[in-house]
Structure 1
Amino acid sequence: MKKIEIVERWLHQNMGLLRCPVCQSSFKNIDQHQLQCVNNHRININKHGYVYFLNRGVKSEYNQDMLEARRAILNAGLFNGILDRINQLMPDQPQKILDVGTGEGTPLARLQKIRECKEDTYIGFDISRAGVQLATQLNPDLFFCLADLRQLPFADDSMDTIIELFSPSDYHEFNRVLNPGGQIFKVIPGASYLQEMRKLLYPADDRHQHYDNSAVEQLFLKHYQNAKVINIKYLFEIPESLRSSMILMSPLHWGKNVRELDLNEVQQLKSVTVDVDLLVGNLK
């Protein structure tokens, strides 16, 4: 089957999970490769196998090279410890899972692989067209779309689990789309996250040498009063062939005072510390 046929089959089966980003009404059918809502607004289904729900174009700094480097590093296991812990905390029963800021989709695909629950539904969205287009190369059972965090194209009470790795939040929208009793897993960097790479890229007195996400954590705890904060920390050994990719995949290489590294300096980066706080909240 062509990608557009695969995604249209998924949409026919899961149309009730979606809502029109223009008028917030439900969709009624698919016509000429377009989703049509009850008020006759039409949303294009891309031939590459994703849906464009944005009401306006949004520029993303994540280009093709960066996204491909990210995929290579994530396939090598950079986030495996994080995703394994999320999986341990998720219910065994089938879940409708929404991945916020999915990028090129590898974390969502990894979660699907380790859960091995055929009845799960997996949805990822991002503002990056390049990222979502890469994501459609993954398992066709995963659904990807371009969407706005502030105006999610998903129905009320439609999701059981939200996962968010290093992405912005809109708790009003999250709570709208989560089922009562649903869970949100938000991952934020800890104090020593990628410290080896930061030391290579920035002077000792640069602000990039330090992470303080206490304000982000406190805001989460304000919205989910019985939330848990779980620290996850491990050392990731970087394959020699992927050390340049490790630099390229992170926004750290964009900073104002960032150093240009030569090949020898890049090869010094043999491992990095993964240090994150996993914030776990429940919607009551």
Structure 2
Amino acid sequence: MPLLPLTQLVCPLDQKVLLQTGNTWRCENNHCFDIAKQGHVNLLPVQNKKSKDPGDSKEMIAARRDFLNSGVYNPIAEALANTVNALCGDQDQLAILDAGCGEGYYLNSVCDALLTKDIQLQATGLDISKWAVRSCKIRNPKLNGLVASNRQIPLPDQSQDIVLCTFGFPVYSEFKRVLKPGGHIVMADPGTEHLIELRSAIYDDVRRSPPADISPALDDNWQLSVSQKVQFTSPVINAMQCEQLLVMTPHLYRASKEGRDRAAQLHDITITGDVLIRVISQSNC
């Protein structure tokens, strides 16, 4: 089955319905948003930007794309795909939002797994970085692409079955708003040992912080329904992959010059993957 396009969006300026006419999305107050030649639409108003080019840079996205294409993080992608597949059951229609999609690797992996079934699938990648959304659309032109913030998701209320948030910045109130009754938030966060080899090279004092706290998302209606650790040791990665890994993570920008110099010497090493996948499900349906 083909991936389905979006039929409605929400105007970021007045929260009115946006409908598509040709290459433009327009609301009743005549706010217009053109579809870029790459196929995505930018719904991040200038007044909502904290910089001229927010989010991950073009260089970070390119490094992440090349590193992920090497297959080192396949265990994470497979675990996410299996988790979402199990949540879907026998549904014949499904809408998925990847909130903080990056260059689309995880969303596309999930879609590949779901489309082996007889299902009508609408999949949307959203990111605050225009470079991320452009790369997501290049990876799979059939994915819907939105440049927007998780703080103001330009999708209608109760329009999504699943919201993915992989190594991202969750805004649970918005996630819950766009989810249908019985929907699920699928989180993937780094564990204490994730990339410990890289972090040990960069920092003099390595912090083994636990996965992000999800308690703000939990209440009488929303409960933790799945918790799965994904741990693996990568194949040997070469110097170029080490560089890509460094550039694609925040560690490059947090490290001292000495730490960056030490990281630049890494090559032909294995790295530890340690990720916690959690599903927050609506329980009152």
TM-score when scaled to structure 2? 0.85
1:99 and 1:125 in contact (8 A); partners too: yes
Query: CA–CA distance in 2 between the matches of 1:58 and 1:50?
Result: 21
Q: Which residue of 2 aligns with 1:247?
A: 246
Q: Which residue of 2 aligns with 1:83?
A: 77
Compare 161-170 and 108-117 and name the one that shifted more: 108-117
Query: CA–CA distance in 2 between the matches of 1:157 and 1:44?
Result: 25
User: Is 2:67 aligned against 1:73?
Assistant: yes
1:188 and 1:276 in contact (8 A); partners too: yes
Q: Which residue of 1 aligns with 2:261?
A: 261
Compare 39-48 and 138-147 and name the one that shifted more: 39-48
Q: Which residue of 2 aligns with 1:21?
A: 12
Q: Which residue of 2 aligns with 1:5?
A: none
Q: How far has the Cα of 1:238 moved from its partner?
A: 4.3
The 3 A distance-change label for structure 1 pair 173 and 166 is: same
Per-residue CA distance 1:27-74 (angstroms, 9 max, x = gap): 23425x321112322122112211010122343352222211111111
Please list every run of at least 4 consecutive aligned residues from structure 1 whose deviation after the TM superposition is greater than 4 angstroms.
none
Q: How far has the Cα of 1:279 moved from its partner?
A: 1.4
Compare 60-69 and 153-162 and name the one that shifted more: 60-69
Compare 115-124 and 143-152 and name the one that shifted more: 115-124
Query: CA–CA distance in 2 between the matches of 1:247 and 1:262?
Result: 11
Give the secondary structure class of the aligned counterpart of 2:223.
Answer: coil
Q: Which residue of 1 aligns with 2:230?
A: 232
Which of 207, 210, 232 aligns to 1:209? It is 207
Q: Which residue of 2 aligns with 1:127?
A: 128
Q: Unaligned stretches of 5+ in structure 1?
A: 1-8
Aligned-partner residue type, residue 197 of structure 2? E
Q: How far has the Cα of 1:263 moved from its partner?
A: 8.4
Query: CA–CA distance in 2 between the matches of 1:212 and 1:238?
Result: 26
Q: How far has the Cα of 1:194 moved from its partner?
A: 0.6
The 3 A distance-change label for structure 1 pair 226 and 134 is: closer
Query: CA–CA distance in 2 between the matches of 1:61 and 1:19?
Result: 21
2:203 and 2:255 in contact (8 A); partners too: no
Per-residue CA distance 1:108-144 (angstroms, 9 max, x = gap): 1222223224621110011111211222212221111
Aligned-partner residue type, residue 82 of structure 1? I
Which of 214, 219, 235 aligns to 2:216? It is 219
Query: CA–CA distance in 1 between the matches of 2:167 and 2:96?
Result: 17
The 3 A distance-change label for structure 1 pair 58 and 47 is: farther
Query: CA–CA distance in 1 between the matches of 2:10 and 2:70?
Result: 36
Q: Map of 1:96-107 to 2, 5 A cutoff?
A: 96-107=95-106
Q: Which residue of 2 aligns with 1:140?
A: 141
Q: How far has the Cα of 1:224 moved from its partner?
A: 2.6
RMSD: 2.3
Aligned-partner residue type, residue 237 of structure 2? P
Q: Which residue of 1 aligns with 2:38?
A: 48
Aligned-partner residue type, residue 80 of structure 1? N
Query: CA–CA distance in 2 between the matches of 1:190 and 1:151?
Result: 28
Give the secondary structure class of the aligned counterpart of 1:46.
Answer: coil
The 3 A distance-change label for structure 1 pair 227 and 220 is: farther
Query: CA–CA distance in 2 between the matches of 1:198 and 1:262?
Result: 10
Q: How far has the Cα of 1:174 moved from its partner?
A: 0.6
The 3 A distance-change label for structure 1 pair 183 and 238 is: farther
Q: How far has the Cα of 1:239 moved from its partner?
A: 3.4
Aligned-partner residue type, residue 28 of structure 1? L
Query: CA–CA distance in 2 between the matches of 1:263 and 1:176?
Result: 42
Compare 107-116 and 93-102 and name the one that shifted more: 107-116
The 3 A distance-change label for structure 1 pair 29 and 131 is: closer
Q: Which residue of 2 aligns with 1:182?
A: 183
Aligned-partner residue type, residue 255 of structure 1? R
Q: Unaligned stretches of 5+ in structure 2?
A: none
Query: CA–CA distance in 2 between the matches of 1:218 and 1:276?
Result: 18
The 3 A distance-change label for structure 1 pair 226 and 139 is: closer
Q: Which residue of 1 aligns with 2:198?
A: 197
Counting matched residue pairs gives 267
Q: Which residue of 1 aligns with 2:107?
A: 108
Q: How far has the Cα of 1:228 moved from its partner?
A: 2.8
